[in-house]
Amino acid sequence: MPTALLAVVFVVLAWVVSVEAGAARPRTPAEIETRRAEVSERLALVEHELAAVMTLLQSLPARLEGADAAAAGALEAQRRALEARRAALAAEREALQAEQAELAALRTRTSTGPLQPSDPQGLSPLDLGGQSGQVSSGQAFNPSISVIPDVVYYSDDVGGGAFEIVEGADGLGGGHEHEGPSGGHGHGTLDRGFNLREMELAFSGAVDPYFDVWATVALGPDSIEAEEVYVQTRKFVPGLQLRVGRFFSGVGHVNRQHPHQWDFVDQALPHQALFGGTLAEAGVQVTWLPNVPVYTLLGFEALQGENERLSHQSGEEHPGLFEETPGPRLFTGFMKVSPDVGYSHALQGGVSFGRSRSHQELIDDGQGPSPQAFDGAAWFIGTDWVWRYDSARPFGQGDLTVQGEYVYRKKDLSPVTSGAPEAGGPRVSAQDGVYAQAVYGIAPRWTLAGRFDAIGLVNRIEVGDVAGEYGASHRYSAAVAFNPTEFSRLRVQYNAGRFQREGRAVFHQVFVQFQMSLGVHGAHRF
C-alpha cells in the first residue's frame, strides 16, 4: 500500500511539474503568429455578432408597439437575453483587444528577418546586476546541426562552355579585366553530367545569455570553404545587434541567402558579374531596428575587403607594383523597410551601397607588351524589392512571390607608375545589372518560377580620353520545383542566354537539381 501511494504521489508531482514547465515555456515565433491570427479572426466574429445583437435590440421598441401581453412578455425576455449576450460579447471583445495588444508587443523578427527557432526572442538591455537563468556553453554542448547536400545534373549546347561565356561577358569579364578567380561565393561552374555541387554543414547554438554562434561550411568535391562563421549578440542595447566574423553581407536581398534558399539553381546575373557571386567577407556588422510604426532596419558593415570585383589586392602577387592597403577596405550600408500591407501580403523594399577604398587590377587589353597596373576606389549602389502573397491554401498552392534588384557599380582607377608599364591614363568603368523574377505555387508542393536578368545595360570603360561602350547581355530562366516535404526538393530549370562576348554568343542550359535538409534547420528569412 505505501508503495502504491508513493507511486501515485510521484505521478501527481511529475504532472504538476510538467504543467508548470509547460506554462513557463516561452511561446515560439510560430505559435505567436498563429495566436495573432486566431485572435484577429475571433475578434472579427465577435464584432460581427455584437453588431447583429445591437441591431436586434434597436428593433425591439418598434416590435413592442401594439403587442399583446403575451407577446410583450416574450419580447421582454428576448431583450434581457440580448442584453446579457451583448455584455458577454463586449467583455470578450475587451479581453481579445487586450491580448491583441500584448501579442503586438511580442517580437517575432530579428534585426535581419523573421525569428528562427534558435534566434534570441528579443534584444534586451544588458543586465549587469544578475540574471534569472544561467545559460552557458559549458552547461551542455547541444548546437543545432543540419546537413544539406546539393546534387545537380547539368548540360548545355556549347560544349560545357556556358559558364565561361557568362564570366567573360564584354566589359565585365576576363576578356578585358584580369581579375583572377571570383572572390565571391558564387557556386557557379558545373561539369556536364552529375555534380555534387556542395554539401552544406551548418552549426548554431547559444554560447551564453549574450551571444550565439553560427557556422556554415561548404564541402565541395575538392575544397572546404567556410561560408559563414560569426558571433551574434543576444542581449545588447535595445534594437541593436552586433555580428562579428565572416558572414554574407546584408546588401540587397538574395545576397544573404545560401544556395539552398535560391529560387533557381544559379545565382542572379548582377551578383555573378558585379560581385563575383555572393558578397561574403570577414568583418563586423551593426544593425539597428528602431521602435517605429513601420518595420525599418538600418545596417552598416566594415569588411576586410577581399572581393575580386570590388576590393582586390595584388600586393602579394606583384610586390614590385602594388602596396597592400590594410583592412578594413570595404564599407557597406543598407536599409530595409517593410510596411504593413495586410495579413496575406508582405512587402519589403531596400537600398544598399558600398565603397572600397582600395581596388587593384592588372589589366591586359592586348594592346601592349605586358599588363598595365591600376589602383583606386570602387563603389556600388543598389535597390531591392520583394512582394509576397500567402493564399492560405495547403502546401503553398496559390502563393506568389515577385522580387527584383538593380545594382550599379563604378570603379575609378589610376595607373600605377612605379615599376609598371606606361599606361594611357586613368581607367573609369561603370556597369550595372538587374533581375526580376516570380515564383507561383501551381499546385500543392509544386512551384513554377520565371526569371529575367541582364548585365551591362550601362557598360562603359574609359581609359584616358578613349571611351569604349559594350553591349548588354541577357538571360531567361524557367524552373519547376517539387517539394515532397519541407526537407527535400527536386527542381528542373532551363536557361537561354544572349551574351555579348567578342560578338554575340547564344547558349542553352538545362539543370536537374536535388536537395535535402537533414537535421535542425531554422525558417528562412524574408
Taking the domains of the chain in order of start, what are their residue ranges?
Answer: 19-106, 144-180+188-318+331-519
Give 469-488 pLDDT, tens digit per residue.
Answer: 999 999 999 999 999 988 89
Rounded to 5 degrees, what are φ and ψ at 52? Answer: -65, -40
Taking 60 as the threshold, does the pLDDT of residue 230 lie above it? yes
Lookup: cell for 29? 515565433
**If pLDDT is split at 50, 70 and 90, which confidence band does 162 have?**
very high
Return the half-sphere exposure (C-beta side, CA atoms, 13 A cut-off) of residue 348.
22
Taking 90 as the threshold, does the pLDDT of residue 369 lie above it? no
Which has the closest alpha carbon to 330: 383, 373, 276?
Answer: 276
Helix and strand totals (H; E) in the chain: 5, 20
Which has the closest alpha carbon to 201: 117, 145, 281?
Answer: 145
Taking 50 as the threshold, does the pLDDT of residue 176 lie above it? no
Taking 90 as the threshold, does the pLDDT of residue 238 lie above it? no
Mean pLDDT throughout 497-510? 92
SS3 label, residue 507: strand
Mean pLDDT throughout 111-118? 47
SS3 label, residue 255: helix
Contacts for 169 with CB less than 8 Å, ≥ 6 apart = 273, 455, 456, 473, 499, 500, 501
Q: Yes or no: say if 363 and 462 are a contact pair by the CB < 8 Å rule.
A: no
pLDDT of residue 51: 87
Report which listed range, 86-90, 120-124, 187-191, 348-352, is most confident: 348-352
Which has the closest alpha carbon to 185: 247, 96, 264?
Answer: 247
Average pLDDT value over all residues in the chain: 83
pLDDT of residue 263: 96
Taking 60 as the threshold, does the pLDDT of residue 81 lie above it? yes
Mean pLDDT throughout 212-217? 93
Report which listed range, 15-24, 38-47, 57-66, is most confident: 38-47
Q: Which fold has domain 144-180+188-318+331-519?
A: Porin (2.40.160)
Least confident stretch, 8-17, 35-44, 88-97: 8-17
DSSP letter, residue 422: P
What residues are paired with 309 via a beta bridge?
Answer: none
Full-model pTM: 0.73
DSSP 332-379: EEEEEEE----TTEEEEEEEEEEEEEEEEEEE--SSSSS-EEEEEEEE
Q: Beta 345-363 vs 295-303: how paired, if at all?
A: unpaired
